[in-house]
Amino acid sequence: MRFLKICVINFSVALFLLSGNLLAQEENTTTTTLSQDSNGSPGVFLRMGVGARALGMGSAFTALANDASAAYWNPAGLEHVRSAQFEFMNVDLPFDRRFNYISSAIPVRGMFTLGVSWVGLRITGIEGRSGNSAQPEYFFGNSQDALFFSVGSSLNQHISFGGSVKLIRNNLDNDLATGLGFDAGMMLRVTDWLSFGALAQDIGTDYRWKSGLTEGVPLTLRLGTAVEVYEGVTVSADVNRTSGQPMTLHLGAEIRPVEMMPLRLGFNDSQITGGAGFAFPLSSHMLELNYGYASDRLLNDDIHRVSVILSLGKKSMPGYRSPGNIYNATKSRKKRSPSSQISGSKGSLAVTAKLLNVRSGPGAQYWKVGQIRKGQRFALLEKRGDWRKIRLASGRVGWVHRDYVMTLQN
């Protein structure tokens, strides 16, 4: 298995490098190679990235997005959010810039997840002159905002998809522009340790100024993969291409020596990034603090980001036990003998539903760890109210509702 994972990683990296070469061939040789978050093109704030966790991993998050920030990185990942979740980030940047981000993700009866997010960039103290004078005559500011309405759902246990509608606004001194944009993403979970993601960001997005000028926001395409190479060690890679700009490469790693205190390292195009996280329970909820480090591209100053995630009714760290993706990997992948699967069981069950979700705990509010099909049989480990604890063929345990299974006589 480890050899297979190494082969997959090498193949993924080779695929990304090949994609980069193909994309580079399309570049106009006269294009100025400026960084994608400092080139002054319309909608720059939409490409700055959100969430200290993702930014600490070098923004290689397209195939990992499984918390409230998925509305930005890949709305298909919202499907993995199994309890109401909220995220907040506020960052002070050089040149009197302030970047804000607020997001929420609300599961709707296990069918899909809705997300509402806001991204805002504020710049103050801009010097204004009416002529060629040494001293500014006045000062003004610029505020840019985007409100995301997102949805994510699953087609089956392997494929999820999602999209966002964005309302954008740019207030520059006394001029105002508004616009509308769209994002579309998908995620493929091949196994519980390998996933792929794709995102088309800012589809048909533009600004319409009161003065009559229309500015188009460049389309960005993201492709990503993520592999858990070993229990608690995850690596990810993304390639991004924004129209009119060079392709960028993003690499990330997350190591969890302690599940509630992950460490992160990344490569964001030409920058080294890093970070860490810490989570602790608050009553029946979970609060997660994430820290991310990077350098500002304008001045090469250190940038420190802290984001907060609150998960309601969830007692495990957000984003680390999601349905069918790489965070679910455990030692239980090892083959077990039939006797070890039945050991400690209180009988067996047969599935009566055509397709049944297996939950991480005894309730619909817990995250989905897999799906089982009609006719399959499993060892019964525990009964708790209307829920039954079973052991899957992989060795992992989970919970199913009694209405969709039948108890068998031993």
pLDDT single digits (tens) 265-293: 999 988 899 999 998 888 878 899 999 99
Residue 73 in 3-state DSSP? helix
Based on the fold, state whether residues 273 and 398 are members of the same structural domain. no
Give dist(CA 176, CA 161) in Å, integer. Answer: 34
Based on the fold, state whether residues 369 and 304 are members of the same structural domain. no
- Of residues 138 and 209, more confidence is placed in 209
Residue with tokens 């520059």: 172
Q: Which domain holds residue 399?
A: 330-408
Based on the fold, state whether residues 264 and 344 are members of the same structural domain. no
Q: Do 62 and 223 touch, CB atoms closer than 8 A? A: yes
Average pLDDT over every residue of 93-106: 90
Distance spanning both ends of the chain, measured CA to CA: 34
pLDDT band at 55 (very low <50, low <70, confident <90, very high): very high
Flag whether 192 is in a domain: yes
Q: Return the closest-CA partner of residue 399 out of 354, 372, 348, 359.
A: 359
Q: Return the closest-CA partner of residue 82 out of 410, 363, 376.
A: 363
CB neighbour burial string for 386-405, b if at least 16 within 10 angstroms, e if fewer:
ebbbbbbebebbbbbbeebb
> Amino acid letter at 308?
V
What pLDDT was estimated at residue 385? 84
CB neighbour burial string for 24-35, b if at least 16 within 10 angstroms, e if fewer:
eeeeeeeeeeeb
Average pLDDT over every residue of 219-242: 92
Average pLDDT over every residue of 231-258: 92
Structure tokens at 210: 């009161």
pLDDT tens, position by position, 294-305:
877 666 678 899
Give dist(CA 98, CA 261) in Å, integer. Answer: 28
Flag whether 324 is in a domain: no
Flag whether 77 is in a domain: yes
Flag whether 325 is in a domain: no
What pLDDT was estimated at residue 15? 47
pTM of the predicted model over 0.75: no
Based on the fold, state whether residues 340 and 312 are members of the same structural domain. no
Q: Return the closest-CA partner of residue 181 out of 218, 213, 142.
A: 218
Looking up residue 162, the CATH number of its domain turns out to be: 2.40.160.60
> Amino acid letter at 273?
T
pLDDT tens, position by position, 310-367:
988 754 454 444 333 333 333 333 333 333 333 445 688 899 888 888 888 888 767 7
Backbone angles phi, psi at 384, to 5 degrees: -145, 100
**Domains held by the chain: number:** 2
Based on the fold, state whether residues 298 and 336 are members of the same structural domain. no
Average pLDDT over every residue of 95-122: 91
Flag whether 110 is in a domain: yes
For residue 394, give the DSSP letter.
Answer: T
Based on the fold, state whether residues 240 and 355 are members of the same structural domain. no
In this structure, of 22-26, 338-342, 398-402, the range with the lowest mean pLDDT score is 338-342
Based on the fold, state whether residues 72 and 168 are members of the same structural domain. yes
For residue 10, give the DSSP letter.
Answer: H
pLDDT band at 102 (very low <50, low <70, confident <90, very high): very high
Based on the fold, state whether residues 112 and 65 are members of the same structural domain. yes
- Of the chain, the percentage scoring pLDDT greater than 70 comes to 80
Q: What is the mean pLDDT of the chain?
A: 80
Based on the fold, state whether residues 357 and 210 are members of the same structural domain. no
Q: What is the DSSP string of 296-353?
A: -TTT--EEEEEEEEEETT--S-TTSS-TTSGGG--GGGS---HHHHHTT---EEEE-S
Flag whether 131 is in a domain: no
What pLDDT was estimated at residue 365? 63
What pLDDT was estimated at residue 220? 95
Beta-bridge partner residues of 379: 348, 391
Average pLDDT over every residue of 4-23: 47
pLDDT at 17 over 50: no
What pLDDT was estimated at residue 320? 46
pLDDT tens, position by position, 111-150:
889 999 999 999 888 877 777 777 887 788 889 999 999 9
